[in-house]
Amino acid sequence: MTQTGFTEEQKQQFFRDGYVVISKAVGEQIIRKAVELITAQLPKDERRLLVPPELATHEDVLSLFNDTCLAEILGKEMGPFPDVISSQVAVTPAFDTLGGKPAPHVDGSWSGAIPDKAQDIDQARGRPKDASRYFGENDELRGSNDGQLWQDPDRTISLGSYTALVGVALNDQRQPGNGQFAVLKGMHEEVEASFRMQRDTGGPIGPEGPGWPRIRTTASGGTFLNGLPATVRERVEQAAKNPVPLDGWPWPELTPVLLDRGDAVIALHSCPHTATPNYGPSPRMNIYFRIRRLREGNPHEGTRRVGHGVSDHPDRGYFGQFLEYPPSYNPWETSVAKLCDHWSEWDGMQEIVAAARSRELKPSHA
């Protein structure tokens, strides 16, 4: 029987790990339609498969979420949300190593070109010393498909956010090393703690804020875009020293989400994730939906400009436009409040959250 909500065990897992797998979430008929559509539109002889953009909004692709138990489960466990009108079609070709090392990150930050030498970076905030060359003269305006440098004109928040990432597998990914979606399991609370620290020390929230340089430098004098707060990265570096947990899985710090065709994963925005190399002979095909719980008082909920379902920065337009907001609704303060209390957006999780918090508050000698 199809699920209509989380089981008690799934709630426990979701709370502890920051993600949960829904087995057989999508029926074979809906899967087959989507696979046929996507396969027919992929260029045949190029190694790098570019997905045509119109696929992301195709009814047969959106159907993977809209016409399955996934929409029902989110409606019950999270709460109401605007219509899902777009998606991310994420195909990793066969034998594609994605340039080598996976880069786990929290979604919502900018990902453009950066200087490649450490000496060109201002270490404290992780900005290029010659910032305007990379970010433009008014970097609060910078926004396109490479993401937004800032969510608001006042540069108080640099990270876009949503409530849940829902990924549907269109092929068998039960064998590690086949391009799995992978997570930093259980790290969501540490991510939330870093947002609280940023808020409590005056911000900004996200990259360039306290404890989160936007660009980091390496010991060998290189640079990389930094998708993780420093406290989380320290824990990742520790975990990377552990023995490898699984055959065919070289990254001890990452947990591969092993999905069969038709299975789905639901992850919190704050659960850091990454795509991984595909050593296998079949393209890895996942469709992602980024769902944000309905925000009362926001006049832009569900408008096409926001691109609900695909956007990781729904407080700005999908292409980076600033939207007009009434004085009664501050989208950025609202987002900061949610980032600092991610469980507040999950109706069905309130009991388990309250129970865990009351255990924490009890003195240990009681």
Closest CA to 178 of 261, 104, 56, 269: 261
- Give start and end residues of each alpha helix (H) in the chain: 8-17, 28-41, 59-66, 69-77, 131-135, 188-200, 230-239, 331-339, 350-361
- Amino acid identity, position 178: N
Choices 12-20, 31-39, 102-110, 183-191 (CB under 5 A): range interacting with Fe ion: 102-110
Rank residues 107 and 208 by Cβ distance to Fe ion and give the closer one: 107
Choices 19-27, 105-113, 189-197, 353-361 (CB under 5 A): range interacting with Fe ion: 105-113
Q: Looking only at residues 271 through 300 of this chain, which bind Fe ion when binding is defined by CB under 5 A?
A: none
Name the token pair of 335. 């987002």
Q: Looking only at residues 8 through 47 of this chain, which bind Fe ion when binding is defined by CB under 5 A?
A: none
Residue 303's contacts (CB-CB under 8 Å, 6 or more residues apart) are none
Rank residues 163 and 298 by Cβ distance to Fe ion and give the closer one: 163
> Least distance (Å) from Fe ion to the CB of residue 265?
13
Rank residues 192 and 298 by Cβ distance to Fe ion and give the closer one: 192
Rank residues 58 and 290 by Cβ distance to Fe ion and give the closer one: 290
Choices 47-55, 100-108, 254-262, 289-297 (CB under 5 A): range interacting with Fe ion: 100-108
Rank residues 126 and 272 by Cβ distance to Fe ion and give the closer one: 272
> Least distance (Å) from Fe ion to the CB of residue 24?
25
**Taking CA 359 as the corner, what is the angle to CA 354 and CA 365, rounded to the nearest 5 degrees?**
160
Say whether residue 265 binds Fe ion (CB under 5 A).
no
**Taking CA 272 as the corner, what is the angle to CA 270 and CA 277, rounded to the nearest 5 degrees?**
155
Q: What is the torsional sign of CA 175, 176, 181, 185?
A: positive
Choices 25-33, 66-74, 99-107, 179-187 (CB under 5 A): range interacting with Fe ion: 99-107
Q: What is the DSSP letter of 243?
A: P
Choices 28-36, 103-111, 117-125, 235-243 (CB under 5 A): range interacting with Fe ion: 103-111
> Least distance (Å) from Fe ion to the CB of residue 130?
28
Using the structure block, give the residue that is written with the tokens 């066969």. 94
Burial 341-354 (b: 16+ CB within 10 A, else e): ebbebbebbeebbe
> Least distance (Å) from Fe ion to the CB of residue 272?
9
> Least distance (Å) from Fe ion to the CB of residue 162?
11
CA-to-CA separations, 21 to 118, 144, 210, 254, in angstroms, rounded: 40, 32, 33, 16
Say whether residue 107 binds Fe ion (CB under 5 A).
yes
**How many residues touch Fe ion (CB under 5 A)?**
1
> Least distance (Å) from Fe ion to the CB of residue 207?
14
Rank residues 182 and 258 by Cβ distance to Fe ion and give the closer one: 182
- Amino acid identity, position 138: N
CA-to-CA separations, 128 to 139, 211, 219, in angstroms, rounded: 12, 17, 17
> Least distance (Å) from Fe ion to the CB of residue 105?
6
Using the structure block, give the residue that is written with the tokens 């406290």. 231
CA distance 281 to 47: 12
> Least distance (Å) from Fe ion to the CB of residue 273?
6
Rank residues 111 and 201 by Cβ distance to Fe ion and give the closer one: 111
Name the token pair of 38. 């996507």
Say whether residue 96 binds Fe ion (CB under 5 A).
no
Give the total residue count for the chain. 366
Largest CA distance in the chain: 67
Rank residues 107 and 190 by Cβ distance to Fe ion and give the closer one: 107
Q: Which residues would be at the binding site for Fe ion (CB under 5 A)? A: 107
